[in-house]
Structure 1
């Protein structure tokens, strides 16, 4: 990593911390804009037409979200003594501006197209760190629950259906990010521990993106290649099952917390909808896994144990962290 990228990463992280720690709207907006200005040169550093296209998509959508957010907070400050419905309207517009920024449905169209033109490390940042500041701003205001419920249900549906016929791994993970974003929004409206969901999701995405980055894998047919050792295949299978939310893997823990909160809030119908669409996402995860395990099972007999240690650590995290987390509840 060169010094320019390191400098941009530091600015991007500091700007998110500015947004998180700010106690006024303008400070939050300033942090979001600095974050935007740092991430754009980070994704456009390569001399590739695809990265330039991704940069333009990101700039236009984030600008639209920023304009909506800024207009809403200015309108809210000018109409301090105003009818209640106008105050609710400005809050709704703030939520819409932030949903555009994180790619929540129905403002999700830009995310899969952009991610298909990015490298794996940029995709990792976009799916994890770039969600932190907008979600924190959403959490700091009194949410309009109907908007959150609608966006959560739409995100779960679009994230599930959109990933069914995809062959690009980056697009599949983009739709998976939309689906998990719906769960995060729902958790945020009921519980202040939504950041635990984001943290666990970030750990899962880090392991998946690192594996694909090291193997230079971008499409499903590349996963089916015999170049993957059996240990790498098992690690990949465990990470996909974890991302799908199956017990006893790491990804089950945040969904379990959301389900508990929804039962306590009597959101039974929405819970059924979210779980049904999660089953659809699990279907296309398992479709990828079955073709890899059943059709290609070449084992490298002379592989070195030293090369397997990172894979063992990934498997250990997926299996042991849920156990430690459950124990910590008691």
Structure 2
């Protein structure tokens, strides 16, 4: 795919999300979601192999089904409002890949490149999350189930893309919980999650890490291993890393709303996600070097170090403000 064509589809994908977020009617929101979907499919299929063809077909069929449900729920708005909101909720959960409709999401993640996985985990969540907030529905059951599925599903995985997919489902549960408080807390959560996910996906893409066993061989120096460990701990929400800040804000909002039982359950599920992050990084840290000293390449060390210093400075600044 040419760079100009790729840029055109990428711009259309952003425009589709902006149409949804700036609309004041259900039909225009649906139109924005359709523009976003039809722009993302060519970006998936740019590699032109069997895996990208299969993942683009999975995405098209799943999103088309959820769009039909959404359109049907919009058309029956004036007749029966309760059933309309149930159908709208189901369609949005399918679009986001939230539990119990997460099967297509994990399969797609395992067949795509890291850059497409990054878009699917971050930007593609924005428009459905906005509609979730606008619908004024309580997604308590789905958010609790998403945190549980995201935590337990990643325990027996060796593929790093599937591990990140289940981690995204877990974070999605926290974001859906943030939408129930009728404020912009979920936007802050999504921004911080995207900030943490970008350098991690970039590093996985550069080092061509598709399985957890490759982290021991593809990470050549101790600096790279320390960087990936800090990023993983931050993704798991270990304090005082940056990833703990959005969960702290969500926990504070849940305590103010007296939602103690669901809060305890979600914290326990987050500890499980932190466990399988630590399981990957500890095995990587045990081996100090896998290459001869005179064969080591130092070209990317300064870049990784600057990324981590920037993230730590951002963490300290945000902690001082809060």
TM-score, L = length of structure 1: 0.93
Question: For residues 33 and 47 of structure 1, what CA distance do their matches in structure 2 show?
Answer: 23
Q: Please say if residues 224 and 296 of structure 1, whose CA atoms lie closer than 8 Å, have aligned partners that are also in contact.
A: no
Match of 2:199 in 1: 207
How far the C-alpha of 1:317 sits from its partner, in A, is 3.2
How far the C-alpha of 1:4 sits from its partner, in A, is 1.0
The question of 1:10 aligning with 2:39 is answered no
Q: Secondary structure at the match of 1:44?
A: helix
Question: For residues 226 and 120 of structure 1, what CA distance do their matches in structure 2 show?
Answer: 16
Q: Please say if residues 226 and 297 of structure 1, whose CA atoms lie closer than 8 Å, have aligned partners that are also in contact.
A: no
Q: Which runs of 5+ in 1 are unaligned?
A: 80-85
Q: Deviations over 1:134-186 (max 9, x none)?
A: 1111111211x2xx111011101100110001110000000000000000000
The question of 1:323 aligning with 2:311 is answered no
Match of 1:271 in 2: 263
- Which residue of 143, 151, 165 maps to 1:174? 165
- Which residue of 150, 166, 169 maps to 1:159? 150
Q: Deviations over 1:247-277 (max 9, x none)?
A: 1111010000000001101110001110111
Q: Please say if residues 115 and 201 of structure 2, whose CA atoms lie closer than 8 Å, have aligned partners that are also in contact.
A: yes
Q: Please say if residues 120 and 212 of structure 1, whose CA atoms lie closer than 8 Å, have aligned partners that are also in contact.
A: yes
Question: For residues 292 and 221 of structure 2, what CA distance do their matches in structure 1 show?
Answer: 6
Change (3 A) 1:207 1:227: closer
Question: For residues 69 and 123 of structure 2, what CA distance do their matches in structure 1 show?
Answer: 22
The question of 1:307 aligning with 2:308 is answered no
Question: For residues 289 and 142 of structure 2, what CA distance do their matches in structure 1 show?
Answer: 41
Aligned ranges 1:239-318 → 2 under 5 Å: 239-298=231-290, 301=293, 307-318=300-311
Question: For residues 299 and 315 of structure 1, what CA distance do their matches in structure 2 show?
Answer: 23
Match of 1:138 in 2: 132
Match of 1:115 in 2: 109
Question: For residues 242 and 192 of structure 1, what CA distance do their matches in structure 2 show?
Answer: 22
- Larger displacement relative to structure 2 (218-227 or 158-167): 218-227
Q: Secondary structure at the match of 1:196?
A: helix
Q: Please say if residues 209 and 218 of structure 2, whose CA atoms lie closer than 8 Å, have aligned partners that are also in contact.
A: no
Q: Deviations over 1:21-71 (max 9, x none)?
A: 111111100000011100011101212101111011111111111111111
How far the C-alpha of 1:229 sits from its partner, in A, is 1.4
Question: For residues 298 and 48 of structure 1, what CA distance do their matches in structure 2 show?
Answer: 33
Q: Deviations over 1:182-204 (max 9, x none)?
A: 00000111143210000000011
Q: Please say if residues 163 and 281 of structure 1, whose CA atoms lie closer than 8 Å, have aligned partners that are also in contact.
A: yes
Question: For residues 219 and 133 of structure 2, what CA distance do their matches in structure 1 show?
Answer: 45
How far the C-alpha of 1:230 sits from its partner, in A, is 1.1
Match of 1:103 in 2: 97
- Larger displacement relative to structure 2 (311-320 or 281-290): 311-320
How far the C-alpha of 1:307 sits from its partner, in A, is 2.8
| Matched pairs, number | 319
- Larger displacement relative to structure 2 (316-325 or 24-33): 316-325
Question: For residues 215 and 192 of structure 1, what CA distance do their matches in structure 2 show?
Answer: 36
Match of 1:82 in 2: none
TM-score, L = length of structure 2: 0.95
Q: Which runs of 5+ in 2 are unaligned?
A: none
Q: Please say if residues 241 and 315 of structure 2, whose CA atoms lie closer than 8 Å, have aligned partners that are also in contact.
A: yes
Q: Please say if residues 94 and 102 of structure 2, whose CA atoms lie closer than 8 Å, have aligned partners that are also in contact.
A: yes
